[in-house]
A and B are shown apart, each in its own frame.
Chain A
Amino acid sequence: MNAAAELPQRRLFGGSLRRNRRWALAASYFFLVLFAIFFLIPPYYQLVTATKSSAEISNQTTDPWLPSFAPTSENIEELWNKTDFPIYLRNTALVTLCVVAITMTIAVPAAFSLGRMKFWGSGILATGVFLTYLVPDSLLFLPLFKIVGSLGLLNSYWALVLVYPTLTVPFCTWIMIGYFQSIPKELDEAALIDGASHLQMLSKIFIPVALPGLIAATIFAFTVCWAAFVYPMAFIFSSDQQVLTAGTITTLVKGDVYQWGMIMTAALIGAAPPLVVYAFLMDYYIAGLTSGATKG
């Protein structure tokens, strides 16, 4: 009697659960597709435009959203052979490499000391590090211009190597502090008893254990350097010192003439390295940003 009365009820409950789940899934897919379209439209448009000749781009009778009827490689050839684009690419790579190296060299020991070696003022200092990150570069470039100028580094990409860390070091330090703090303190105590110095503790225990966080921080520093726009725009004037972001604009936009085909090609090539880096290190990146959220 009892079981019979319960049965339909349970079925009803199970049914509503299933229905609920179906709705949730449908809604998820709807928004996922919406976001995918939203974010994929610009690269699609870039790709389509990059394969069109200038004549086709300026042709008012064709639909700019449709792929080219006669795809051409003239944009990339011209960009590579007739502009300073290869120099920009090389400069960007060089600057990024240097800045990532400098950033990690500063941020990792800084995070270790702020996060693990409790000393007077370490908490305030850690917050202070994060606050410096909140000052936008569009404000910071004015005083930095003075500094860079007085150092004689204006119009040199070494200026960028000097100033980019002001953007990357605070955030990377912050990420690494969080990561180091999630490592149980018994681990340093065990290392201490095993006879490790603080430097050995950092190099032999903390860095290997915090590798996902380290990679997340590296990716962040990489992305920031690769995509920085305000500083090169402000500090670099000549082509041989220029980097990708600012260089593309200054070279390919002349007055009110936009060389759309080449701009789009340059943007695509410029976006490729971060894409590759993300694709390979995505799992680490996510693990790094979400660590400490749950135990183990």
Chain B
Amino acid sequence: MAQVTLNKVVKKFDQTEAVRGIDLDIADQEFVVLVGPSGCGKSTTLRMIAGLEETTAGEIMIGGQIVNDLPPKDRDIAMVFQNYALYPHMTVFENMSFGLRLKKFPKAEIKQRVERAARILDITELLERRPRQLSGGQRQRVAMGRAIVRNPKVFLFDEPLSNLDAKLRVQMRTEIKKVHQQVRTTTVYVTHDQVEAMTLADRVVVMNGGRIEQIGTPHELYHAPKTRFVAGFIGSPTMNFIPCRLVEVTGALGVQLAEGLTLPVPSERDPAYRPYAGRALVLGIRPEHITETRAYAAGAEFAMSVDVVEPMGMETIVYFMVDGTEVCARVTPEAALAPGKRMRFLADMRHMHLIDPQSERVIDVPGATRVHGTARVPAA
């Protein structure tokens, strides 16, 4: 059990900078997920923590000790790889106990530790098998078992679920969460899948281009993204970004999306947005906050002609165009109209974001992480 601290960590490969000076504090027992598109430096960061890559500059501390110059085996970490990296010629038991055997642990203790890990992961009956006799999910369990038996200070996961099919991935995701709740080892987990990041993490670190875009709880990232990148990366379907102008209409602010289409800004956001009045900005609003009109819910109503309709079962995704920009809305299946029909929508502007197109930053609104009742819940 230990904290992990990254202090201005830089990694250069020849001339290209993969990681450009990141600071990160991970608390003891915390589950932190590094997420971002491929090439954002998340895996490199993890590999530097593991000691598989040298750091070009900066400091990495595990449990208060600077580990920059320590080889992986002396860092007291365990890693789970995307392709499992099980030793093909060893049985599951031998795979899990390899590290302990190298460290010359007594046989009885090795057996006890392996059996305990096998029980946690429900692979007791597989201990005598070899990796090629196991399914993908079972192999991933063994890889986790190999990490657990070492009882390390930190678990490192490098996209462990990417090789599994969609159904198994969801199942193993739950499994990993369960294991963490049981063993409470500090965990750093890398993935490009934002759903994995949101569901597993205590805190998510969104990376892009070798930098940290934002660190926060899943809730914070979803409701109060700090940059356009984070806003677009978290959530599916992705947030709508509509070019707009912040205008003042009879004393109150509104976002003008097109000629004759201006949506009012909630009054509590007025102080934060007032300095930007008159400027060209980008409105960010999630598809789930544009719905069909509902009698009980407040919001800005407007009508648009439907472009594309995608039924998903429990809901229907409806696309329409606003002045050349495609906008996505999530409506109940019964409410969706056929393409070409004019439909009335309701935008829950309490969840709006305004983005400065120059800096690509979301204009800060104090208290924006507060949970609002969504438009689907009748207002009290």
With A195-B73, A195-B103, A200-B102 in contact, do A190 and B81 touch (Cβ < 8 Å)? yes
Which one of A181-189, A215-223, A271-279 is at the B interface? A181-189
Which residue of B52, B87, B103 is within 8 Å of A189 (Cβ)? B52
Map CB proximity to A onto B69-112 as digits: 1 under 8 Å, 0 otherwise. 00111000111011101111100000000110011000000000
A211 to B85, CA, bound (A): 18
Number of interface residues of A (CB under 8 A): 17
Does A192 lie within 8 Å of B83, measured CB to CB?
no
A194 in contact (CB, < 8 A): yes
CB distance from A198 to the nearest CB of B (A): 11
Chain A nearest CB from B8 CB (Å) reads 25
- Tell whether A184 pairs with B85 under 8 Å between CB atoms, given A194-B102, A195-B73: yes
Residues of B within 8 A of A184 (CB): 83, 85
Docked pose: A192 CA to B85 CA in angstroms = 12
Are B99 and A186 closer than 8 Å at their CB atoms? no
Residues of B within 8 A of A192 (CB): 52, 71-73
The verdict on B317 contacting chain A, using a C-beta distance below 8 Å, is no
**A42 within 8 Å of B (CB atoms):** no
Min CB gap A117→B, angstroms: 14
Output the nearest chain B residue to A211 by Cβ-Cβ distance: B89
Once the chains bind, are B89 and A193 in contact (CB under 8 Å)? no
Residue interface bits B102-144, CB-to-A below 8 A is 1, else 0 = 1100000000000000000000000000000000000000000
Residues of B within 8 A of A194 (CB): 73, 98-99, 102, 146, 150
**Contact between B88 and A186, CB atoms less than 8 A apart:** no
B73 to chain A, nearest CB (A): 4
Residues of A near B10 (CB, < 8 A) are none
* CB-based contact B72/A186 at 8 Å: no
Contact A193 B88 (CB under 8 A): no
Say whether A193 contacts B79, CB under 8 Å.
yes
Partner of B79, one of A190, A196, A208: A190
Q: Which residues of B contact A191 (CB under 8 A)?
A: 87, 98
Contact of A187 with B85 in the complex, beta carbons under 8 Å: yes
Q: Is A190 touching B73 in the complex (CB atoms < 8 A)? A: no
Is A209 on the interface with B (CB-CB < 8 A)?
yes
Say whether B87 contacts A209, CB under 8 Å: yes
Tell me if A125 counts as interface (CB < 8 A to partner B): no
Question: What's the dominant secondary structure at chain B's contact region?
Answer: loop
* CB pair B87 A205 closer than 8 Å: yes
Contact B85 A186 (CB under 8 A): yes
A189 to B: closest C-beta gap in Å = 5
A200 CB contacts on chain B under 8 angstroms: 102
Chain A residues numbered 244-285 whose CB sits less than 8 Å from any CB in chain B: none
* B221 interface hit (Cβ, 8 Å): no
Instruction: Report if B50 contacts A (CB, 8 A).
Output: yes
Q: From B156, which residue of chain A is reached at the shortest CB distance?
A: A193
Cα distance A209–B131 in the bound complex, in angstroms: 13
Q: Note all chain A residues with C-beta closer than 8 A to B77.
A: 193
- Find chain B residues with CB under 8 A from A196 CB: 73, 98, 102
Q: How far is the CB of A294 from chain B (nearest CB, A)?
A: 15
Docked pose: A205 CA to B73 CA in angstroms: 16
* Residue in chain A with minimal CB distance to B87: A205
Contacts of A195 in B (CB 8 A): 73, 99, 102-103
Given contacts A193-B50, A209-B87, contact A186 B73 (CB under 8 A): no
Expressed in whole angstroms, the Cα–Cα distance for A189 and B43 within the complex equals 14
Q: Known interface pairs A208-B89, A209-B87. Does A186 touch B81 (Cβ–Cβ under 8 Å)?
A: yes
B102-A209 in contact (CB<8A): no
* B73 near A193: Cβ-Cβ < 8 Å: yes
Among candidates A187, A193, A208, A211, residue contacting B78 with C-beta atoms closer than 8 Å: A193
Inside 8 A of B99's CB, which chain A residues have their CB?
193-195
How far, in angstroms, from A194 to B99 measured CA to CA in the complex?
Answer: 4
Q: Convert B28-63 into 0s and 1s, putting 1 for each residue whose CB lies closer than 8 angstroms to a CB of A.
A: 000000000000000000000011100000000000
Q: List, in ascending order, chain A residues with CB within 8 A of B87's CB.
A: 187, 190-191, 205, 209
State the Cβ distance, A18 to closest chain B Cβ, in Å: 36
Residue numbers in A under 8 Å from B82 (CB-CB): 186
Write the nearest CB–CB distance from B303 to chain A, whole angstroms.
46
Rounded to whole angstroms, the CA-CA distance of A186 and B146 in the bound complex is 14
Chain B residues positioned under 8 Å from A208 (CB to CB) = 89
Q: Which residue of B lies closest to A187 (CB)?
A: B85
Which residues of chain A from 7 to 63 have a CB within 8 Å of any chain B CB? none
Residues of A contacting B51 in the complex (Cβ-Cβ under 8 angstroms): 193
Separation of A209 and B87 alpha carbons in the complex (Å) = 8
Quick check: B102 and A190 within 8 Å, CB to CB? no
A-B pairs, top 9 by smallest CB distance, nearest first, are A186-B85, A194-B99, A195-B73, A190-B85, A208-B89, A186-B81, A193-B72, A195-B102, A192-B72
- CB<8 Å pairs between A and B, sample of 15: A186-B81, A186-B82, A186-B83, A192-B71, A192-B72, A193-B50, A193-B73, A193-B77, A194-B73, A194-B102, A195-B73, A195-B102, A195-B103, A196-B102, A208-B89
Known A190-B79, A193-B51, A209-B87; 11 more pairs at CB < 8 Å: A184-B85, A187-B85, A190-B87, A192-B52, A193-B77, A193-B99, A194-B98, A194-B150, A195-B73, A196-B98, A209-B88
